[in-house]
């Protein structure tokens, strides 16, 4: 078995998660692709490494309370260790705020905030016990500015992710575990187009100061940098990639 570090990426089968998986795998990590779409996770892992020695796919629904412990045990069984967790799984909805029903609110927050929080708890405890780890939470511009093209529940849940990142960073810092967030603005890809349609994407692009949507491959490089052993002095931070839509 390789001595390479093991990274887990939730929501890793497609979109930004797929870009992160590909980046980490290219950097030499053994990668667990966790996604509610188990077949998609398996397909990506097989494409990256048919032998499954450095990549494997796992079906995981982060909204389920048992998911963090089940996935952690599965990773330890498969690879014997874990060093990096990327909390990328998210549910995106663009329902107008006054039309959001209780079931939809619960659905979005259970994945975006509840899943991230529970995974930080479970994996954070394990990483702290071993004295080393990196956790990267995928936040969003919507959690900083209240959202533009996304729903209020999505924006609020991502704001909660930013606060949780600080809480876990403070708690785990003395035990060798860093916790950071990456906060992308609108990215090139299927998610933005599914929410806005092509005309909406054109209008959004025109509103971005740099005049273009983000590049998921670049965001993945940001995640990889925070996941690296060299990132020992960075914790509790939020790295922005929003094209100038939010300046601070």
* 29, 132, 154, 246: the active-site residue: 154
Spell 19-36 as b/e; 16+ CB within 10 A means b. bbbbbbbebebbbbbbbb
Distance CA 231, CA 227 (A): 7
Starting at the edge strand that comes first in sequence, how are the strands of the sheet with 177-184 ordered? 55-59, 30-35, 6-10, 84-87, 133-138, 177-184, 238-241
- Is 57 buried (19+), middle (13-18) or exposed (0-12) by CB count in 10 A? buried
Catalytic residue check, 29: no
Quote the CA–CA distance of 95 and 66 in Å, as a whole number. 29
| Active centre residues (catalytic) | 154
């Amino acid at each position: 078995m390789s001595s390479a570090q093991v990274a887990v990426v939730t929501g890793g089968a497609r979109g930004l998660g797929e870009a992160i998986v590909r980046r980490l795998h290219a950097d030499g990590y053994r990668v667990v692709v966790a996604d509610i779409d188990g077949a998609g996770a398996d397909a990506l892992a097989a494409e990256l490494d048919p032998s499954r020695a450095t990549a494997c796919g796992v079906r995981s629904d982060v909204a389920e309370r048992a998911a963090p412990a089940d996935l952690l045990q599965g990773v330890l069984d498969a690879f014997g260790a874990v060093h990096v967790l990327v909390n990328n799984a998210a549910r995106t909805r663009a329902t107008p705020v006054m039309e959001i029903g209780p079931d939809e609110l619960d659905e979005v927050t259970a994945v975006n905030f509840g899943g991230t929080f529970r995974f930080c708890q479970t994996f954070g405890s394990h990483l702290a016990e071993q004295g080393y780890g990196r956790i990267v939470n995928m936040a969003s511009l919507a959690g900083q500015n209240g959202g533009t093209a996304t729903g209020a529940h999505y924006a609020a849940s991502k704001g909660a992710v930013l606060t949780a990142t600080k809480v876990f960073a403070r708690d785990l810092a003395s035990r060798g575990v860093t916790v950071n967030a990456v906060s992308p603005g609108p990215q090139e890809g299927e998610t933005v187009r599914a929410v806005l349609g092509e005309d909406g994407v054109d209008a959004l692009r025109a509103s971005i100061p740099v005049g273009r949507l983000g590049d998921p491959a670049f965001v993945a490089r940001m995640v990889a940098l925070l996941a690296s052993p060299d990132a020992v002095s960075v914790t509790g931070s939020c790295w922005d990639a929003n094209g100038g839509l939010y300046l601070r």
